[in-house]
Amino acid sequence: MEIILALVIGGAFGAVLDRIGASNPNVIGRMLNLTNLKLMKAILLAIGVGSVLMFGGQMLGMVDVGHMSVKTAYLGVFAGGLLLGVGWALAGYCPGTGVVAAGAGRRDAFAFIAGGLLGAAAYMATYPAIKATGLLDAILGGNATLGTVPGTDYPGLTGLPGDTLGIVLGLVFVAVAFVLPERIIRKDTRLPAE
Amino acid sequence: MTLDWKIGGLALGLVFFAAVLLVKPIGVSTQFVILDGVLWDAVDPAVVTQTADGYTATNAYLAKSGGKYAKAVANPLNYSFVFVLAMLAGGAASVWQRGGVGPAERRVPELWRANFGDSPVKRYAAAFAGGFIVLYGARLAGGCTSGHMMSGMMQTAVSGYLFAAGAFAAAVPTALMLYKEEA
């Protein structure tokens, strides 16, 4: 049963990533150089919609709280995010969208995946040394959520009710998606001033 | 061809919700480690071994957290690994259904071409280097754009916000430096 769900949800995820342009390196480049933020608006809307439905469903007793999986915060999360950001801008792919782009026949996506397999192997080889630096030691409460989510063991960064806060923040994400301009850097800003 | 951002964002949000409703939050980058492990174990079967109560590995990273990565390497037909294979198939079907990506674009993407020329070797070298940095970073962070940024922030995870702050703090300046010509 789980395998069928993997095929259906994974297949839908791949198809949607293609249709919103997330697996197109041109679209990623234009988002990150702030000349076309439509994909950013779609991502913000998606986080908001997912959040409102999940926490709303939990409050109505329709979504199993046990399906949540909150990752631990440590300094390496930020450092790894920085590294991923550089590679994301350079290649135009992140791990999931690189796989989808390979499915689209983009040749550079195969180079990205090959580099990714080597990068993951390099992390496997250096993991003990990284762990010894303390970069992986939990900070900010470890696997914490911003509020305290009822029915979970995740520590709350604040004592606010985590499900209500999740819905409020979800609505904030939706609002930001609508307010964010489609373009921040104007075309003319790089031309010499007259 | 590309969906309106409102429809696309709604569809993407529904997929992330369906995943957490039915199984668990979406994540991708771990599966690069699992595939590495499968390949490594195929060359050297001594890497992953079964124990009395599960699996372990000679590699400390594969053996961590009670050997859960070692277990996935031993049984790659699990939910998370099949999920990523299905992403490839779903993406391919969607691309094919809308008429495919053109040959010039498949060779070198247009924004790259406008800034760095038409050399495929240069582009593939950049994509390879980018892939290396992305996956090293994702494994250091314990997740990627899917697992940390989307699934994490959706669950109000502190780690998701920390990751997104790092990713955009590096990605935006890098892209501003790299892609000065528009295309």
| Distances, alpha carbon A176 to alpha carbons A43, A47, B16, B161, B170, in Å | 11, 11, 19, 16, 21
ipTM score here?
0.96
pLDDT of residue B183: 87
Q: Which of B17, B123, B170 sits opposite A53 (nearest CB)?
A: B17
Domain ranges of chain B: 1-100, 105-183
Q: Which of B61, B91, B132 sits opposite A127 (nearest CB)?
A: B61
How many of the other CB atoms lie within 10 Å of CB of B50? Answer: 12
User: DSSP code of A67?
Assistant: G
Contact A83 B163 (CB under 8 A): no
Preferred mutation among B2, B15, B94, B134 to probe A, highest tally of A CBs within 10 A: B134
Q: Tell me the percentage of chain B whose pLDDT exceeds 70.
A: 99
Place of tokens 């933020």: A37
First to last CA, chain A: 66
Helices and strands (H, E) in chain A, number of each type: 7, 0
B64-89 pLDDT, tens digit each: 999 999 999 999 999 999 999 999 99
Residues 6 or more apart from B90 whose CB is under 8 A from it?
A10, A11, A12, A13, A14, A15, A18, A100, A103
Interface check B154 vs A, CB under 8 A: yes
Average pLDDT of chain B is: 96
A48-83 pLDDT, tens digit each: 999 999 999 999 999 999 999 999 999 999 999 999
Looking at the predicted structure, is the pLDDT value of residue A190 above 90? no
Is B162:A140 a contact under the CB 8 Å cutoff? yes
Among candidate residues A20, A192, A63, A115, the one with its CA nearest the CA of residue B154: A63
Domain ranges of chain A: 2-188
